[in-house]
Amino acid sequence: AKLRDLHGMIARDVAARPVAEAVLVHLGDYVDKAGDVRGVVDYLAAGDPVPGVTTKFLTGNHEETMLAALDGVGGATADWLWGGGKATLESWGINPDSPRETWPAAFTAAQMAFLRRLDLYHQEEGYLFVHAGIRPGIPLAEQSREDLLRIRHDFLNSTRDHGFVVVHGHTAGFAPVVRPNRICVDTAAWSGGKLTCAVVEEDRLGFLGA
């Protein structure tokens, strides 16, 4: 419901302040922990949620861990269940105590295709959109997947000019964080906070929240 409400806000904002091209970037972590997880995946997999707006879907560490668990990668199942995977399984009507080998059969081809085609990052003018952040001082082409999806302290504490402003999630708070080199929009929607969208236009910044 929060996601649909936020998309409605975005659609109204685009209609009220038209631009030549609007790009909507989702930063990942569509699964786990709470809420109607299956509903979120089905809704996003169905197509562009805001008509007339180019939409990008990025992966988060939760999607990465989920896919590894469903694929039977060693250690991933325990990591997924510990990190919120039980809520996802239950959303699909799967008993988390059932054999892991039986889980993939509950997911449709469309759901799996959506989860497997998620991008790692998106660059737009002076901004880099990515789930967690980047390793400071490392060129973008040489960044590790692990850092892009899971980095925290080395990135969050850095005051370095990365050559672009990094717009990210992954590290939750109850308000957006704005620094000269990064913008964090994870406002803990899964645990009672708002779902937040940063609106960036050249050097201007605003927020929408549901």
pLDDT tens column, 37-46: 999 999 999 9
User: 6 pLDDT band (50/70/90 cuts)?
Assistant: very high
Percent pLDDT > 70 in the chain is 100
Report the chain's terminal Cα–Cα distance, integer Å.
Answer: 9
48 or 14: whose pLDDT is higher?
Answer: 14
pTM confidence score: 0.96
Q: What CA–CA distance (Å, rounded) separates 169 from 61?
A: 11
Model pLDDT, residue 13: 96
Q: Across-strand partners of 69?
A: none
User: 1 pLDDT band (50/70/90 cuts)?
Assistant: very high
Q: What CA–CA distance (Å, rounded) separates 105 from 93?
A: 11
Q: Helix, strand or coil for residue 74?
A: coil
Model pLDDT, residue 113: 98
Do the beta carbons of residue 53 and residue 20 sit within 8 Å? no
User: 33 pLDDT band (50/70/90 cuts)?
Assistant: confident
| 13 phi/psi in degrees, rounded to 5 | -65, -45
Neighbour count for residue 159 (Cβ, 10 Å): 9
Model pLDDT, residue 203: 87
DSSP state of 59: -
